[in-house]
Every structure is written in structure tokens, then in C-alpha cells.
Amino acid sequence: MLIATPKHWCRTPELEPWVQDYTELVVNLSVPIKNDAYSECHMYARNYSDIVRYLEYRTPLELQRDKVWHIGNPKGSNMTTCQYGWHYDRSQYPATVVTEWNLVCDRSYLVTLALVVFGIGGLVGNYVFGYLQDMWGRRPSFYAYLLLEIVACAASAIAWNFEVWLGLRFVVGLTVPAILASPYVLAIEMVGPEKRVFCTIVSNIAYSCGLVLLAGVVYVVRDWRYLSLAVSLPLLLLFSCFFVLPESPRWLMAVNQPRKAAKVLKVMARVNGVTVVPNFVNLVEERFHRARGPNDSATSHGILDLFRTKNMFRKTMIITLIWFANTSVYVGLSYYAPALGGDEIWNFFLAGVVELPTYILLWPGLNYCGRRSILCISMLLGGIACVTTSVYSEDANIMLILYCIGKMGISSAFVVLPLLASEIYPTVVRGLGMSFSSVIAMIGPIVIPIINHMGQEMLVLPLIIMGGLLIGGGVFSLFLPETRGKSLPQTIEESESIPLSFLPRCCGGNVPKSNLDKSTNNRRDCNNSHGHMVCSICKSEIRSRRV
């Protein structure tokens, strides 16, 4: 919405007195018709002095009735590029970045550049954020990025030239993917297997509601400077949760802070109505150090751990490939909405609304059919819908229906993939692994604006490319292991014990008995606080630090 390009035409200084009241007349006199539409980048190269003298002696009624554009035979005149700037149709947007700095015609590539720079920011931000998330923790890194995003986005509202605005949008791009990922990782690490789907669905419902709400904000606030403030300053309210939102106990155990982890677990137990022994914190810390031993030292994990073994390497590559396809298509379809024609705000609103029924259907589907099957079906459905647009490119209604089906498919896949990835990557490299996959995936938002720009000549070309990506990703998803009902792997060794497989048995396959037993033992250990036992989260993290 910030860089929306409204209809525009060349400005003709001699005809300026008549532009406001007789816009159609001025356009007919000065702008040639190309491809059954008025040219946006060319004007007639003619002597307008005679036309001005003619117009000066005509009454308003005559100007409304008279076919004065035939004066001087304009259709036989030579054409030239716009020499004096442009007039813009401001009926929908009073001001955008495009109208502010005339990013049209030979400068239209700067609009695509802005999207590319935003995507590069996301790529760099994800790379840095992966380390900060595992070094600082989930909560501090989230609030650091949130503050940076608010400052950069609000500052862009007072940018005095395009270059400054572009630099600030790069900074905003640094933060957005990380802000979305950090709370999700934190939530997944704080719940058991039976609640992961709930957390995933609720977070994505909130995201889609945000899209719908954003359409309403844009409908009310259409000036790009005020819109930048309207979408950034309200985020300050999230800092009210700083003293309520806890750190991940899994991460605290992984970085040798058992006392802090135990305090978080104790608060969680109190909120959930579970009674623990009075000296629970001391017992957890004592058993943590006893299990580690006096000579054990903390082992740091890096990005190379994702590639040290063949099994982990293949999982990382497949997840990254699918993540790339999903990110490219989700962003691409969002950018593509204006190309559908009609009201851009309505298209944006509709793109957000169609996601909501998808999440309602996913809720039971993920619990009973598994992650892998749903991911595959979603990507294939979205891909086929996108490719099919090549057959119905002339029918706007069918194009809109296929677009919505494709949006539903990619929205579903976008929900399932982070859940599946978080359950495949072990705790010690989960933040790093998911950040790596999302970093590579952010190459998609860098390339997709260029593909959409190419689509100006062939409307369905971007949809065909995006459909091919989804179909390919859907096939590769069948190689990943099913994780429904299984405990999160804590160490790389535990992750290695889960092999790759092709094709599920029945909607996700059966959960092996060993994993069911492990889940049962986990719940029994966590509830056995009166027996002075350390919960399975602590035990798993203790083992991970002894590797």
C-alpha cells in the first residue's frame, strides 16, 4: 500500500487551468492511446498555444459537450515522453511513495528495487537473529528487534528523499521475519506435543486477523506517511508484556541456567494448578549439576551441526527447500493482488479473509492426519490452482477464485511447515536451524518482485512459476518424517534416531511405540514433583550439554 502506483498521465503546463474541472478533456487533448488505454508515459508533441486560445473562448457548457480533442488532429501528432512530470489519480490514495517521488515510467524499477531491498533486509535479519535468539534468549532478542522495527518504520514516515526511505525500509526488513518467528519458537518450546497444534493455529489466526485489520487501517489512513505511523506506533503496546512473558525453560536449561528454568517451571505449575514441593527450584538445580558432573563443560552448537551427519543434512536441505517455496509464493501472491484489478484494498482484505477458514480446517486435520500429509496436500492444491490460471487468464472471476484457492493452499502450508520444522530440529539448534531455513527462504522475496515485474507483459507468468515451486515442494515434503504425537528431540543424537522416510502410511503414519512410551514417561516425570524427580525437559537438556 505504501508503494501503490495509481493511474497517471503526463502533465501539460499549458492546459493546467483546465485540469481540475475538465480532466477528461485535458487527457484527450494531450495523451495518446496505446493498447486500448491512455498512455501513462507519453504525450503528444504538439503546439498547445492554439488549443489554449480555443479553450479560452469556450463556455463551460461548450467544453463539456464539444469534441475539442479533434483540434489540430492530435492522432496525427508525434509522441514524446513526459517532459513536465505527471498528474496522478488520487481518488484511492492521496499520496504514496510513488507519487511523492515520481517512481513511474523510466523510474518504475525503483518500486521493484524497494521490494528487493526489503527482502534483502529480511535475509540478513534472519541470519543475525538466528544467533541472537540462541545467544540472548527468545525474549530479549524479540524485544530488541521489536524496538528497532518501531523506530525504523516510524522514522520512514519523515523521510525527506527516496534514498533515506529505502534505507529505513531495509532496517524494517531486518526485523519483520524475526519478530514473527521468535514468539512462535518460544510458544512451541513451552508446551507439550498435544498443545503444539493449538499454539500454531491460534498464532496464525491472529496473523490473519491482523491482515484483515490492516486492510481496515489502510481504508481509513491512505496517506503513506500517516500509514507508516499507524502500523508502527501501536506496537509499543507489546512492551507491556515484557514482565509477563517468560523465557523458554528449554533454552535456559540448554545454556546451563537450571535455576532460572526451574523458577519459570514453578510459575507455570502454579498457573496450571499443579502443586510442586517447596524446594523444587533447589532440587532441579541440584539434580541438573549432579547429572552433568563436575568435569562437564558446556558445548556450543553452530550452523555446521546442521550438516555434520547425512541424516541431519538431508532434513535441513528439504526443510529449507520447502521453506523457500512457501515464502516465495506467500509473498508473491501478496504482491500479486493488485494485478487482479479492481479495488486493491478489497483484494488485500479478501486475501486475509480466505486464510481464516483454512486454519479452522487445519485444527482437526493436524491432530488426526499428521503434519506431513497436510503439508503435501496444501502445497499441491495451491500449486495446481496457480498453474491452472494459465488456462483462464481472460476470465477475471475464475482468476480471482483460483487466486483465493492458491492463497488458501499456501496459507495452510505456511502454518504446517514451521510446526513440522520445529518438531524435527533438536532443541540445541532449533533456533539456528529454523533461522537458517528462513534465511535461505528469504531469497524468494528478493527474486519474486522481479518475477512479478516481468508479469506486466504476461499476467499469469508469476502464477505459473509460483505454482511450479509449490508442486515441487509438495513432492519433497513426503521425504520428511512424521512428528505427530512425538516428543521434541532435545539433542542432535535424538534427532539422528528419527530417519527420513517416503510416503506416510495412513495420514501421517503410526507413532512408533518407543515414542509413545517416551511421551508417557515425559508426562509422568513432569507430574512426579512430590517424588523429587527432575522433569524430562531438564533431563533431556542435561544430556544435551554432555555431548
Rounded to whole angstroms, the Cα distance separating 459 from 392 reads 11
* Range 239-259 burial, b when 16+ CB lie within 10 A, else e: eeeeeeebbbbbbbbbbbbbe
Pair 44, 75: CB distance under 8 Å = no
Rounded to whole angstroms, the Cα distance separating 436 from 429 reads 10
Span 42-52, average pLDDT: 80
User: DSSP state, 293?
Assistant: -
Nearest to 219 by CA among 205, 206, 230: 230
Has residue 538 got a pLDDT over 50? no
Rounded to whole angstroms, the Cα distance separating 98 from 107 reads 9
Nearest to 483 by CA among 247, 261, 200: 200
Has residue 428 got a pLDDT over 50? yes
Rounded to whole angstroms, the Cα distance separating 259 from 247 reads 12
In the structure, what pLDDT confidence band is assigned to residue 42 with cuts at 50, 70 and 90? confident
- The per-residue pLDDT for 73 is 55
Span 459-480, average pLDDT: 88
In the structure, what pLDDT confidence band is assigned to residue 246 with cuts at 50, 70 and 90? confident
Give 9's strand partners: 87
Helical (H) or strand (E) element with 12: none
150-199 residue pLDDT tens: 999 999 999 999 999 999 999 998 888 778 877 877 887 888 777 777 88
Rounded to whole angstroms, the Cα distance separating 47 from 67 reads 18
Nearest to 268 by CA among 282, 281, 254: 281
Has residue 524 got a pLDDT over 50? no
- The per-residue pLDDT for 76 is 63
Record: fold of 108-242+301-479 = Growth Hormone; Chain: A; (1.20.1250)
Pair 419, 369: CB distance under 8 Å = no
Residues 6+ apart with CB under 8 A from 49: 14
Residues 6+ apart with CB under 8 A from 534: 283, 284, 287, 288, 291, 525, 542
Alpha helices in 102-246 (DSSP H): 109-136, 138-156, 162-189, 193-220, 224-230
CA 24 to chain centre: 41
pLDDT, mean over the chain: 79
Nearest to 87 by CA among 35, 31, 33, 44: 31
Pair 181, 431: CB distance under 8 Å = no
Rounded to whole angstroms, the Cα distance separating 538 from 29 reads 78
In the structure, what pLDDT confidence band is assigned to residue 70 with cuts at 50, 70 and 90? low
Rounded to whole angstroms, the Cα distance separating 324 from 333 reads 14
357-378 residue pLDDT tens: 888 888 777 777 878 888 999 9
Has residue 123 got a pLDDT over 60? yes
- The per-residue pLDDT for 384 is 93
Specify the amino acid at residue 318.
I
- The per-residue pLDDT for 253 is 77
Pair 527, 274: CB distance under 8 Å = yes
Give 34's strand partners: 37
**Which of 59-63, 114-118, 248-252, 278-282 is modeled with the greatest confidence?**
114-118
108, 325, 410, 437 from 476: Cα distances, Å? 37, 11, 15, 15
pTM of the model as a whole: 0.75
Pair 533, 525: CB distance under 8 Å = yes
Residue 229, burial from CB neighbour count under 10 angstroms (0-12, 13-18, 19+): middle
Residue with cell 479452522: 360
293-351 residue pLDDT tens: 554 545 566 778 788 888 888 888 999 999 999 988 988 888 777 777 677 888 888 88
107, 329, 401, 474 from 468: Cα distances, Å? 31, 10, 19, 10
- The per-residue pLDDT for 64 is 65
Instruction: Find the angle CA(248)-CA(251)-CA(254) to the nearest 5 degrees.
Output: 155
Rounded to whole angstroms, the Cα distance separating 136 from 440 reads 22
For the chain, percent helix, then strand, then coil, each to nearest 5? Answer: 70, 5, 25
Supply 331's cell numbers: 509473498
In the structure, what pLDDT confidence band is assigned to residue 383 with cuts at 50, 70 and 90? very high
Higher pLDDT, 359 or 527: 359
The residues spanned by each domain of the chain are 8-101, 108-242+301-479
Higher pLDDT, 385 or 69: 385
- The per-residue pLDDT for 519 is 40
Residue 37, burial from CB neighbour count under 10 angstroms (0-12, 13-18, 19+): exposed
199-218 residue pLDDT tens: 878 888 888 888 889 989 99
**Residue 405 main-chain phi, psi, to 5 deg:** -65, -45
In the structure, what pLDDT confidence band is assigned to residue 471 with cuts at 50, 70 and 90? very high
Higher pLDDT, 243 or 290: 243
- The per-residue pLDDT for 168 is 94
Strands 86-88, 78-81: parallel, antiparallel or unpaired by DSSP?
Answer: unpaired
In the structure, what pLDDT confidence band is assigned to residue 272 with cuts at 50, 70 and 90? confident
Higher pLDDT, 461 or 97: 97
Span 451-478, average pLDDT: 83
Span 428-440, average pLDDT: 80
Percent of all residues in the chain with a pLDDT value above 70, rounded to a whole number: 84
- The per-residue pLDDT for 502 is 61
